[in-house]
Structure formats: structure tokens, C-alpha cells
Amino acid sequence: MTIALPVNRLAARGRALLVVLSLTFLPATGAVWANTPAHVVDVEARNEATVREAFGRWVGGGNVFEDLLAPDVVWTIHGSGPIAGTYRGIKDVVNRAAGPLVSRLATPIIPDVHHIWAAGDRVIIRFDAYATTTSGGTYQNQFVWILQMDGGSAVGVEAFLDLVEYQRVVDNNPPRQP
């Protein structure tokens, strides 16, 4: 019982310290947000809503590339696989990056969005995606896209995904027949 008394006092002092610290730092955090220009907050909210709506349409069968990308988008896939690199324009992205994979899928890719963050002209989206391959197997991948938005369209994209899983599907499944 004598041991519990110092621990209880220590816990009470720890809680008191947390209260003091939170009262000290919360007003400073509010001041930062209060000094953020309204137009920056509005742009971030619009950009996040644009991306969220485009992904919602994608889940319903829409085309996220047509809905979200500027015609002259610069799309970079990071990594060291055969598709890693920079693509210029929607047609280049679709033909050289997405096409080899999509042609080997029997069903559309369906995204499962985990989170969307907006900061300035950038929107970051973390999602998983699923489809069935032409051989009846499963394609499942994890993605992070960093979108640079301008006027409601993504003009730049940095894409992070499991390139080994992408290549496994391309290498082991026949292209869909027209």
C-alpha cells in the first residue's frame, strides 16, 4: 500500500502536467489556423472534395482518369519496375502505364479509399484497389497518390504502389480479347 501512494501522486502530477501543457499549446495552434487565409482553406476543401467525388464515381464505374486528370498531366510512378517513370498526358498514362495492367483484368479496378488529405494545392489519397484477373485470380494493390491540383484537375501526380504485384499480373495473365 505504501508503494501505491507515490505512484498515485506521480500519476496525478502527470495528469496535471498534461492539462497545463494542453492549455499552453492549444491557443498557439488556434492562432496558426486563425492566421491561415480563408482562400487557402477554401482551395484545400474544394480540392479534397473534387478528389473525393472523382473516387466516388470510380467506385460506381466511372473513369477516374477522365474525371480527375488534366489532359496534359505529368504522372510519375516511383519505384524500380518496368513501368516506373514519368508519363506526359492522359493518353500516355493510359496506354503505357495503366493499359498493360487493365488489359489483363476481367473486372474493373475498384478502389477502397482509406484517407484523403489536402494541403495547399496538393491532395494525398491512400487507397487499396481490387479486381479479378483474366485468369480468374485476384489483383490487389495499395496506393498513395499525391495530386497537384489546378482549377479542379490534377496537373501532376506522384504514384506509389506495389510494382511487383502490378508486374505479377501483367506477366502471368493473358490480355483480354476484344
How high is the pLDDT of residue 178? 74
Grid coordinates in use for 15?
495528469
What pLDDT, in 10s, does the model give residues 60-78? 999 999 999 999 999 999 9
Report percent pLDDT > 70 for the chain: 77
Q: What is the pTM of this model?
A: 0.77
pLDDT in tens, 145-163: 999 999 999 999 999 999 9
> Shortest CA distance to 138 belongs to which of 171, 164, 114, 105?
105
What per-residue confidence (pLDDT) applies to 97? 96
The pLDDT, as a whole number, for residue 5 is: 41
Q: What is the pLDDT of residue 35?
A: 57
Topology of domain 38-172 in CATH is Nuclear Transport Factor 2; Chain: A, (3.10.450)
Res 177: pLDDT: 82
Q: Which residues of 93-115 are buried (b: 16+ CB within 10 A; e: fewer)?
A: bbeebbebbbebbeeebebebee
The amino acid at residue 119 is A
Give the pLDDT mean for 117-135: 97
Looking at residue 34, its pLDDT comes to: 53
Do the beta carbons of residue 105 and residue 133 sit within 8 Å?
yes
Tell me the pLDDT of the chain averaged across its residues. Answer: 85
For position 36, what pLDDT does the model report? 58
Of residues 135 and 34, the one with the higher pLDDT is 135
Q: Is the model more confident about 13 or about 79?
A: 79
Given a cut of 50, whether residue 86 has pLDDT beyond it is yes
Has residue 168 got a pLDDT over 80?
yes
Residue 33: is its pLDDT beyond 60? no
What ranges do the domains of the chain cover?
1-35, 38-172
Q: State residue 11's pLDDT score.
A: 45
Kindly tell me if the per-residue pLDDT of 30 is higher than 60: no
